[in-house]
Amino acid sequence: MLVERHFAHLSPDRVSFYDETLKEQMEGSYRYDGKVLHVFSAKYGAKSAPPANFGTRIDHFALESYVQEILRELARGAEKDTAKLHTLKKAA
């Protein structure tokens, strides 16, 4: 994967948490290169996003909270895609 090779020099940080809304254990990793936050999920894919307003000092707790938010977005997007696929299959 091109993204993996490009950021191979940065060690990924892991994140794991239980999401009450989705009723699911969420797991993923992220890399922050100082400009863009790259979030990866084996189950839901990847997404890159500009950092929230972190300023010059990065609060690790704020960064991980933002990563969790992005993982939730990826999961919700996957749920919508799955629901759309089931709808199309029923219509066929």
77's tokens: 């997007």
Q: Which of 1-5, 13-17, 42-46 is the least confident region?
A: 1-5
Residue 54 three-state SS? coil
Tell me the domain boundaries of the chain.
2-91
Going by C-alpha positions, the residue among 48, 37, 36 that lies closest to residue 74 is 48
Q: What is the pLDDT of residue 38?
A: 92
CA distance 48 to 30: 9
Q: What is the pLDDT of residue 50?
A: 84
Q: For the segment 24-70, what is each residue's pLDDT rounded down to a tens digit?
A: 999 999 998 878 889 999 999 999 988 766 665 667 788 888 999 99
Give Dmax over CA atoms of the chain in angstroms. 54
Q: Which distant-in-sequence residues (6+ apart) come within 8 Å of 54 by Cβ?
A: 62, 63
pTM of the model: 0.70
